[in-house]
């Protein structure tokens, strides 16, 4: 499929939907259809709206249309030895930029480099009145107007149809290695916290099956010095980080509901029944469990975090409920962008 600007067609569809008050279900490749509450509405695909609009390696910026496959963006960046530093999970061969931003999904480098939202510089979108709007831009620093671009990250399309996104990109590290240490979860968390206070070039961490894996990246000098500090063994060329990011690691092959717990990193191992995989220095924990949702939510909440039904389980209760006052302002914000409630209604919360 060739590069194509489908702005006009998309805007016409939205205008027609506004006129007939038809809810729309915004989709890219469908790689993340499993996520969040059940999609409803007339499908509206962004896939025809694709192509890299601008890429300036020395400006560290790329701008692409929302239907552009992530693979295409990553290949283009790699040719210049650059990357999307938030290492987005694809969850499908045709995953698009739009879905990546709408879900704010971020990979193993997240606690060290930032999430998708940290790299968004600007966007073009269609709001629920069918208007074309442009916020932010292609420059690193921009405080003119409210940060509408970052607000789209994780909004699951409920605030607008993304047309174009500009992202900050970074150079690929010169070198990377993975160290592995035999540790139980509690000891692994303790080590991670001690190391996190030191200036080490750690770019990913994961604990599974009694082993702690750490990815180091940077110059050869930095990696060598850090390896000595961390101890353990070097794991040669590993696909581990890719498998974890894409949930292709054997841990994820299971029938039980998959929960994502986002917690303060130093939360001790929680005593919920099931199997755990720790990531992000302890901040992101995957739990395979048939425990009641309310137990899992209560444990996450008590620790100062939240729990999401990621796969399987009761997707109608996918996200941790919001306090009533906060939900009130969420609803008003939704109305400010999408007064007729047409974009992905109920995908995030029933009220939005």
Partner 1 sequence: MPNANTAAANKQELLQQLQDLLPVGAVLSEPEDLRPYECDGLSAYTRLPLAVVLPESVTQIQHILRLCTRLGVPVVARGAGTGLSGGALPHEHGLLLSLAKFNRILELDPRRRLARVEPGVRNLAISQAAEPHGLYYAPDPSSQIACTIGGNVAENSGGVHCLKYGLTVHNIQQLKIVTAEGELLTLGSTALDAPGYDLPALMTGSEGMLGIIVEVTVKLLPKPERAQVVLAAFDDVARAGRAVGEIIAAGIIPAGLEMMDRLAIQAAEDFVHAGYPRDAEAILLCELDGINAEVSALILQVREILLASGATEVRSARDEAERARFWQGRKAAFPAVGRIAPDYYCMDGTIPRKRLPEVLQGISELSREYGLAVANVFHAGDGNLHPLILYDANRPGELERTEAFGARILELCVAVGGTITGEHGVGMEKIDQMCVQFQPAELEQFHAIKRAFDPHGLLNPGKAVPTLHRCAEFGAMHVHGGRLPFPELERF
Q: In the range 56-95, which residues lie near partner 1 by CB under 8 A?
A: 56-61, 81
- Nearest C-alpha neighbor of 129 from the set 9, 6, 39, 17: 17
Residue 332: exposure state from Cβ atoms within 10 A (0-12, 13-18, ≥19): exposed
Distance CA 73, CA 68 (A): 7
Q: What are the structure tokens assigned to 308, written together?
A: 């999401």
Task: Enumerate residues 280-339 that contact partner 1 by CB under 8 A.
Answer: 280, 283-284, 304-306, 308, 319-322, 325-330, 332-333, 335-337
Q: Give the torsion sign (CA, 95, 100, 102, 107).
A: positive
Residue 74: enclosing H or E segment and its boundaries?
helix 70-79
**What CA–CA distances, in Å, run from 12 to 8, 44, 137, 156?**
6, 11, 25, 21
Q: Contact region for partner 1 (CB under 8 A) — 89-97, 123-131, 176-184, 269-277?
A: 123-131
Residue 277: enclosing H or E segment and its boundaries?
strand 275-279
* Interacting residue with partner 1 among 3, 42, 131, 233 (CB under 8 A): 131
Concatenating the DSSP letter of every residue in 102-156 gives: HHT---TTHHHH--HHHHEEEEEEE-TTS-EEEEE-SSS---SS--HHHHTTTST
Distance CA 79, CA 253 (A): 33
- Determine the distance from the C-alpha atom of residue 323 to the mean position of all C-alpha atoms in its chain, rounded to a whole number: 23
* Interacting residue with partner 1 among 114, 269, 274, 341 (CB under 8 A): 114
Q: Closer CB to partner 1, residue 213 or residue 280?
A: 280
Q: Contact region for partner 1 (CB under 8 A) — 42-50, 91-99, 263-271, 287-295?
A: 263-271
* Interacting residue with partner 1 among 141, 237, 253, 255 (CB under 8 A): 141
* Interacting residue with partner 1 among 4, 262, 269, 274 (CB under 8 A): 262
* Interacting residue with partner 1 among 48, 133, 181, 293 (CB under 8 A): 133
Interaction of residue 271 with partner 1, rule CB under 8 A: no
Interaction of residue 265 with partner 1, rule CB under 8 A: yes
- Minimum CB–partner distance for residue 171 and partner 1 (Å): 4
* Interacting residue with partner 1 among 35, 86, 91, 135 (CB under 8 A): 135
Q: What are the structure tokens assigned to 168, written together?
A: 């900050």
Interaction of residue 225 with partner 1, rule CB under 8 A: yes
Interaction of residue 193 with partner 1, rule CB under 8 A: yes
Q: Closer CB to partner 1, residue 45 or residue 320?
A: 320
Q: Contact region for partner 1 (CB under 8 A) — 7-15, 41-49, 179-187, 257-265?
A: 257-265
- Minimum CB–partner distance for residue 222 and partner 1 (Å): 4
On the CB side of 240, CA atoms within 13 Å amount to 23
Give 49's DSSP letter. S
Interaction of residue 118 with partner 1, rule CB under 8 A: yes
* Interacting residue with partner 1 among 142, 227, 238, 317 (CB under 8 A): 142
Interaction of residue 15 with partner 1, rule CB under 8 A: no
Q: What are the structure tokens assigned to 207, written together?
A: 């604990």
Q: Contact region for partner 1 (CB under 8 A) — 23-31, 64-72, 147-155, 203-211?
A: 147-155
On the CB side of 46, CA atoms within 13 Å amount to 32
Q: Tell me whether strands 42-45 and 24-27 are parallel, antiparallel or unpaired.
A: parallel
Q: Closer CB to partner 1, residue 61 or residue 70?
A: 61
Interaction of residue 146 with partner 1, rule CB under 8 A: yes
Q: Closer CB to partner 1, residue 192 or residue 212?
A: 192
Residue 331: enclosing H or E segment and its boundaries?
helix 324-337
- Minimum CB–partner distance for residue 184 and partner 1 (Å): 19
Interaction of residue 176 with partner 1, rule CB under 8 A: no
Q: Tell me whether strands 82-83 and 120-126 are parallel, antiparallel or unpaired.
A: unpaired
């Amino acid at each position: 499929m060739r590069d194509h600007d489908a702005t006009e067609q998309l805007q016409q569809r939205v205008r027609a939907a506004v006129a007939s008050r038809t809810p729309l279900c915004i989709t890219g490749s469908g790689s993340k259809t499993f996520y969040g509450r059940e999609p409803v509405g007339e499908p509206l695909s962004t896939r025809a709206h694709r192509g890299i609009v601008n890429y300036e390696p020395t400006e560290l910026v790329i701008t692409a249309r929302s239907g552009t496959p992530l693979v295409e963006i990553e290949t283009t960046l790699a040719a210049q030895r650059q990357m999307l530093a938030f290492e987005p999970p694809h969850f499908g061969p045709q995953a698009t930029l739009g879905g990546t931003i709408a879900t704010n999904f971020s990979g193993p480098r997240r606690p060290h480099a930032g999430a998708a939202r940290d790299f968004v510089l600007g966007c073009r979108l269609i709001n629920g009145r069918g208007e074309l709007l442009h916020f932010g831009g292609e420059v690193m620093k921009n405080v003119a107007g409210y940060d509408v671009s970052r607000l789209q990250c994780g909004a699951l399309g409920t605030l607008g149809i993304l047309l174009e996104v500009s992202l900050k990109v970074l150079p690929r590290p010169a070198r990377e290695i993975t160290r592995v240490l035999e540790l139980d979860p509690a000891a692994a968390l303790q080590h991670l916290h001690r190391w996190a206070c030191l200036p080490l070039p750690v770019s990913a961490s994961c604990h599974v099956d009694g082993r702690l894996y750490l990815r180091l990246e940077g110059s050869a000098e930095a990696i060598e010095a850090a390896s000595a500090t961390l101890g353990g063994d070097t794991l040669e060329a590993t696909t581990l980080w890719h498998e974890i990011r894409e949930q292709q690691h054997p841990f994820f092959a299971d029938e039980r509901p998959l929960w994502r717990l986002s917690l303060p990193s130093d939360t001790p191992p929680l005593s919920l029944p099931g199997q755990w995989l720790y990531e992000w220095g302890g901040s992101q924990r995957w739990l395979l469990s048939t425990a009641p949702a309310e137990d899992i939510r209560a444990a996450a909440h008590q620790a100062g975090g939240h729990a999401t039904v990621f796969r399987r389980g009761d997707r109608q209760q996918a996200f941790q409920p919001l306090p009533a006052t906060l939900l009130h302002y969420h609803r008003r914000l939704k109305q400010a962008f999408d007064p007729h409630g047409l974009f992905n209604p109920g995908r995030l919360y029933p009220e939005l």
